[in-house]
Amino acid sequence: MASASPVSNKSFINVQWVWNASPNPFSKSQNIEWRRYSDVENMIIEKAFTTGETNAILDDYHIDFKHSVQISNDDIHKQRPVKRTVCDKDDRILREERFLPNPVPPDRPFGGQYGFISPFIKEVVKDLNLTKKQLPSKDKTVVPMIVEKAASGIIEEGSEQHEQVWRSKIRTLGPFCLLLWDNPFNRKLTKPGTILYRGAKLSADLIALFKDDCPKDPRPWHSFQAFTSCTRNASVAENFGNVLFIMKICLAFTVDLTELSKYSYEEEELLFPGVSFTVDIMEFDKKKNKHLIYLTLQQRHDKAEQHHVYKNAPQPSYDPQTPPDTSAYISAALVLGEALGSGDPDAIAAAKAALDRVTADAHASGVFDHAAAFSGSVLDRVASIDDDYAVAGAADCDGHDDDWKKLDNANVLYSLSDIDNERFAILAQEKMFTKFLNFVLALADDIYLIPTSILDRFCSCILPRVHHNVKCLSLDLTSMERILRVAEYPYLSQLKLFNFNQDICSSYFTDLPSTTFSSSILTKLCISLNTLQDCLSLLDGRLKQLSTLIVIVHGTKNHSTFDHNMNDLPNLKCFSLTYNSIEAYGAQVIPLLRRMSHLKGLILYLSIENRVVFVDGTRLYNEILIHMPQLLHRLSINDMQQTFNKLQCQQMAYIVNYSCDTGTCHIFSLPFSFDRLDYIGVRFGPFETRILHWNYTIFPIAEEINSFEFCISVLHFCNSKTKQFQYNQSHPIVEFPHLTSLNVRRADVYYVEQFLNTAKTYLPRLTELEVDYDNLVTVTGNFTRDATRGNCAKVKWLIFEITIEYSRDVHVTFLRCKWNYFHYLNKMNNKNSSVFEDRVRVNQ
């Protein structure tokens, strides 16, 4: 096949060249059957056509553009008409060659189980006379030689007739395939639990073979022997063939082609050769008229030749002086550690199942028979692993210790706990692994409990050996008692408790007097509370050495009638309070803050309701700041009714909005250092001063707007009043480089346009969008407008108040969206600085 140089003209993807395949191609009476050229041929032809060439040269034919015919290179009398067609970019025929062919050989339907290394690659390694230390990923000095052979082989292959026997390709295509297979620059282990899809057109006989595999126990392993194109988008794969493969990854190497492909909306993922699979479930979907075949993918080894692909390689030997190869086991254990760290239940289950299978294979083959005889340091052992076939970081021993440090400590301990080897036990018990132990699995906004089997192993085998090193524990209340009773923790200085709820807490704290909870050594406390009364209880003198207190108050009602100790807090140096919907600002917050005369750091995020006046600079200074003479950084402002003149360090900005009988005032120090801003209403600084140019007094210092935009990650924009403005193309684009969550559900369509139009606002990290569906349809032109697709391309969570049906255009606009994932997110995060949201009732 002739080669095509890389081109960047994206219009190529919308053009398809076809040739007349009719028996009599020049007959005017017969129906014409047009067949398309392959992707590569199409690109060669289109490149020649657009660059003004008179002919396009293919292997056996050339295209005469002047006469629009295909002419045989061997016989000029063999000619067929050709034509150029312009297709819609979503035309399914354009990609059938990529996604439709059966991914397993028809003569051996499941490809056998060659495992990670196919016979073809093995023969290539032999032909190049390489040792196991000379693969490109470990010895980059051989890369130029292999590249040269690959280039020569491709050129030679393009001028010869294609052979049917794969062995004939070893010398010509072998080096190129070796680079693809053992790419030193791109080796990615896909996250366990990832789902990939692929359509295929299979015969009834082949479908029956897949079906026969389902009830077998144990299920036989088969493999894909070629680079196989898949997609993470089910709707793309459903366009092809009569079968839909639904493949769940347990362990597999893949390459994400989304950023490289001209068809980025397909979300193409390329499977490496040798990925093995089992057939788990098979069913027929009447609605889609397709057979659904569910596969589990796992990188495995050919047991008959495990780890021995090299010329004259010795057979397995477990001499006590020669450490057995446990790379597959260690790899699976580390993948389990990563899965535990991710908190994904599906990934954990898949990784655990893979580890169980590898463990059974290892015991059956005698790998662990001589584990106690391992010699040398741990890093020496890791370096000796035959990492040509290892996964999850075992491919490169350089820096391997650092890779292990990056894993969650508790996960590493668990992964290594059943390896009966003293060296690994020593490594696992080093202080860097046991100083901080986390037993909480966090995923999004949920907390998951540690499985009982894992907890049992920690309590029986691990904690009794490492308790003397532990300084910090993160626990949930269901496992707290077991873990704390296992052993004494003499150096424990931090205890983080999760899943605090009323039912669980009552089993520990019911009927206990408040004085029971005290500490003479606690210096820092971060806590979420239901009411401010709970905060007052904590500060009644029981925490005598407390110097830093960070409080988030979620509730609004105070039912307590207790009288609290209101003495000063001389040891408290840093205080942070986040309080939404507070009504007792004057009665509770101000008296509390006045007790903290020795503060050096103060962070306030307060939403104050039902007041008749705003908290301006004068009130802030007289009521709070004047009572804190040791504050290191006081707040200041240039204007806002001249009330901040007494504060002369930091700059301040504010936003004031009125709607009907309600007023809202935001005051915040600059640079803005929180990661969210709620209910900012109609007057929004970046749009006013840089796009609409309404009024610079809203943000008194225009240059400080950059500080606001460049730190915010969560933005809730609320304004339902219609505004019409003439947009000036010369105004600069507003950029929010860190904004990940945007809520414009209660905003006018004009502001939705301001945010989503890439010509006006740039949102490179937006992953969560809550919006009114009708406004979204309008702004995106029913999901067909290119100007809005840039800011929507990375959105993973699209949140509406209604249920909708998704068209192809919706999927193209929101490429990465997790469909049917709808919920309302309530998040509250704060960093440093002070923010007041002050709502005032206005008399008409």
Query: Which tops the pLDDT comparison, 539 or 329?
Result: 539
Q: What are phi and psi of 181, to 5 degrees?
A: -70, -45
pLDDT computed for residue 71 by the predictor: 93
Domain 96-315 has CATH 3.90.176: yes
Question: What secondary structure letter does DSSP report for 635?
Answer: -
Task: Write the pLDDT tens digit of every residue in 776-828.
Answer: 999 999 888 988 988 988 888 888 877 666 677 787 788 777 653 333 332 23
CA R_g for the chain: 33
- The average pLDDT across 489-512 equals 70
Which residue is associated with the tokens 């063939």? 241
Residues ≥6 apart with Cβ < 8 Å to 314: 308
Please give the class, per CATH, of domain 10-87.
alpha beta
As a whole number of angstroms, the distance between CA 542 and CA 396 comes to: 53
Of 768, 700, 65, the C-alpha closest to 444 is: 768
Q: How much is the pLDDT for 818?
A: 60
Q: Tokens at residue 78, please?
A: 């063999």
- 822, containing H or E segment: none
- Do the Cβ atoms of 595 and 567 come closer than 8 Å? yes
Identify the pLDDT of residue 284. 92
pLDDT in tens, 14-43: 688 999 888 888 887 777 888 888 777 888
The C-alpha torsion from 811 through 816 and 821 to 824, rounded to 10°, is: -110
Residue 87 clears pLDDT 80, i.e. is over it: no
Question: Distance (Å, rounded) from C-alpha 20 to C-alpha 30?
Answer: 11
- Find out whether 762 and 710 touch, Cβ atoms under 8 Å: no
Nearest to 230 by CA among 205, 195, 206: 195
Q: What is the mean pLDDT of the segment spanning 271-278?
A: 81
**Between 193 and 730, whose confidence is greater?**
193
pLDDT of residue 839: 33
pLDDT score recorded for residue 373: 28
Over 80: is that where the pLDDT of 536 sits?
yes
**β-pair partners for 579:** 553, 606
Percent of the chain residues topping a pLDDT of 70? 54
The pLDDT value given to residue 746? 81
| CA–CA distance, 534 with 752 (Å, rounded to integer) | 40
| Backbone φ and ψ of 561, nearest 5° | -115, 10
The pTM of the full predicted model, rounded to 2 decimals, is: 0.32
Domains 10-87 and 96-315 share a fold: no
pLDDT digit string (tens) for 367-393? 443 332 222 222 233 333 223 223 223
Give 64's pLDDT tier (boundaries 50, 70, 90).
very high
Domain definitions of the chain by residue range = 10-87, 96-315, 327-338+359-502, 512-648, 675-828
Measured from the Cβ of residue 642, the count of other Cβ atoms closer than 10 Å reads 11
The phi and psi torsions of 65 (rounded to 5 degrees) equal -70, -30
Least confident of 187-196, 566-575, 652-661: 652-661
Residue range 629-643, pLDDT digits in tens: 887 654 433 444 455
Return mean pLDDT, the chain: 68
Q: Which of 87-91, 211-215, 622-626, 771-775 has the lowest mean pLDDT?
A: 87-91
Q: List CB contacts of 145: < 8 A, sequence separation 6 or more.
A: none
Contact status, residue 420 vs residue 372, Cβ threshold 8 Å? yes
CA–chain centroid gap for 826, Å, is 21
Residue 776: name the closest of 797, 796, 753 by CA.
Answer: 753
Location of structure tokens 């994400």: 256
Q: Which two tokens stand for residue 830?
A: 């704060």
**H or E element that contains 258:** none
Q: How far apart are CA 734 and CA 754, in angstroms?
A: 9
Please determine, for residue 831, whether its predicted confidence score (pLDDT) is greater than 60: no
Residue 251 pLDDT: 75
pLDDT of residue 315: 34
- Contact between 774 and 752 under an 8 Å Cβ cutoff? The reply is no
Among 644, 673, 672, 668, CA closest to 656: 668
- Statement: residue 404 has pLDDT above 90: no
Q: What is the DSSP letter of 810?
A: H
Cβ-proximal residues to 504 (8 Å cutoff; 6+ apart), any chain: 477, 478
Q: State the pLDDT confidence band at 245, using cuts at 50, 70 and 90.
A: very high
